[in-house]
Amino acid sequence: MKTWHEIRRFPLAVRLLLVNQFGVNTGFYLLVPYLATHLTENLGLSAVVVGVVLGVRNLSQQGLFLIGGSASDRLGARGVIIAGCALRTVGFALFALGDDLAVLLAASVLSGFAGALFNPAVRAYLAQEAEERRAEAFALFHVFATAGALVGPLLGSALLLVDFRASALAAAGIFAVLTVAQALVLPAREAAPSWGTVLADWREVLGNRAFRAFSLAMVGMFTLENQLYLLLPDGARRATGWDGAAGLVLVLGTLAGLAFQLRITRALGRRGDRARWIAVGLGLMALAFLPPVLVTGTGGGGPDGTADAVLRALPVLAGALLLHLGVMVAQPFVMELIPGFGRPGLTGTYFGIFYVVSGVAAALGNAVVGRAMDAGRHGDTAWLPWACCALFGLASALGVARLRRLGSLPAPPKPAAPATSGEAREDRGAGERREGQEVQEVQGGTPT
């Protein structure tokens, strides 16, 4: 209940963006996990064509985050968020209505580009609105995102009992509702004036050595976080012999996030600098891959009965809980620090480039872990993927710790100083004038 009380203390824009992220992840995971099965079994496409369709969607998103970030800085985050959600509405609807390869490719491009637009824009908007409570806002953002990632597949499984098109149309409907809600409720904020070119903005961000070093140091976080959908579910299935055990990995994280995320972020935010806790979180993520080795890293057969399956599940779930805990410790402070690397007018660009790096890292990291999983299954090295993940996390933790020692990381935003009585009266007057102006704009239908 305390979490919900804290949510109400944030501005309306922040609350809407939290709900928006829940809806975004619900709609995404309602459709995308089942897309490959639909393309192969329902449409009869070859594995090569399916790979192209899925690859185009991923490339359109991961490769174009930079475009979305720059658009957010120059055009305003609100409009970019709305445009992204509208494009994903169209893209997911095309998956439901189109069987032709050209239509499917168009749907992949639109849905991927939509994510490239609203992902950095949402984070830039959230960072600007939350101000000194940025870490807490991103902590809640993670909770809502995780909850959506859990609800989406469950809802998708139920809708697949009808057919895939029902699932795709439901996903499109969610994004349509989000688009309308943002257009009606999300306040407009003027974009900071920019005097240079977009290329100059990119050069400025990429030329920031501290930001480059931090982005590379965080490669381990995104690689390990992706194992919530690859290595840990596979380990849970192998340890217990039950396919449903994979879902427990996500359920555990969602419940832990709802119960502890905000408390952890607040408690750690008052104790020491952010870089220390980012390094600690990465260390916990590295340790998370050691307990499952006890039951999955030795090869061998499956469990001997239900009681043995439960016992074998415990080390895997302990690892999943440690991984979730590490993410809860590190991620809000990572998101809080990113805008501090540069000037406010480039917040979206910084997030865009950071997510390009994270997308590439996740793809390469998953390839390495997947290769290690294959090697472990065909030899006596079932421990290999777990060891790889532990090393990824350790390397990232050491990288952040070194940046902290060098003093390369920005300080978190400071709370605003209390105003004097005269200043307070002046601020209230200015606020009243702004509110009156906003009311006139809404009544007059001023376009944004």
pLDDT at 379: 67
Q: How far apart (Å, rounded) are the C-alpha atoms in residues 223 and 360?
A: 10
**Span 284-292, mean pLDDT?**
96
Annotate 316-372 with DSSP letters as a single string: HHHHHHHHHHHHHHHHHHHHHHGGGGS-GGGHHHHHHHHHHHHHHHHHHHHHHHHHH
Per-residue pLDDT of 110-132, as tens digits, reads 999 999 999 999 999 999 998 78
Cα 306 to chain centroid, rounded:
35
Do residues 282 and 389 make contact, with C-beta atoms less than 8 angstroms apart? no
**Amino acid 255: pLDDT:** 87
Q: Pick the range with the lowest mean pLDDT from 116-120, 314-318, 351-355, 365-369.
A: 365-369
Residue with tokens 């995404």: 28
pLDDT of residue 359: 80
d(CA 371, CA 406): 35
Q: Out of 60-69, 88-97, 320-329, pick the least confident.
A: 60-69
Q: What pLDDT, on the 0 to 100 scale, is given for residue 271?
A: 86
**The dihedral sign for the CA sequence 236, 242, 246, 252:** negative
Q: What digits encode the pLDDT tens for the residues 235-255?
A: 888 888 887 787 888 888 888
The lowest-confidence range among 25-34, 151-160, 189-198 is 189-198
E strand residue ranges, 252-336: none
Q: What is the mean pLDDT of residues 201-222?
A: 94
Q: How confident is the model at residue 98 (pLDDT cuts 50, 70, 90)?
A: confident
Whether residue 239 contacts residue 295, with contact meaning beta carbons closer than 8 Å, is answered with: yes
Per-residue pLDDT at 435:
37
Res 385: pLDDT: 92
In contact, 135 and 336? CB cutoff 8 Å: yes
**Mean pLDDT, all residues of the chain:** 85
pLDDT score for 2: 65
**CB-based contact 383:297 (threshold 8 Å):** yes
Between 281 and 237, the higher pLDDT residue: 281
Going 351 to 352 to 357 to 360, the CA torsion angle's sign is positive
Q: Residue length, the chain?
A: 448
pLDDT of residue 415: 59
Report pLDDT for 445: 36
Torsion angle in degrees (nearest 10) through CA of 94, 72, 207, 414: -130
Diameter of the chain measured on Cα atoms? 75
What pLDDT score was predicted for residue 299? 59
Q: Tell me what percent of the residues of the chain surpass a pLDDT of 90.
A: 50
Residue 350 vs residue 412, higher pLDDT: 350
**229 — phi, psi (to 5°)?**
-115, 0
**Nearest Cα to Cα of residue 26 among 179, 206, 147:** 147
Tokens 């917040």 locate to: 347
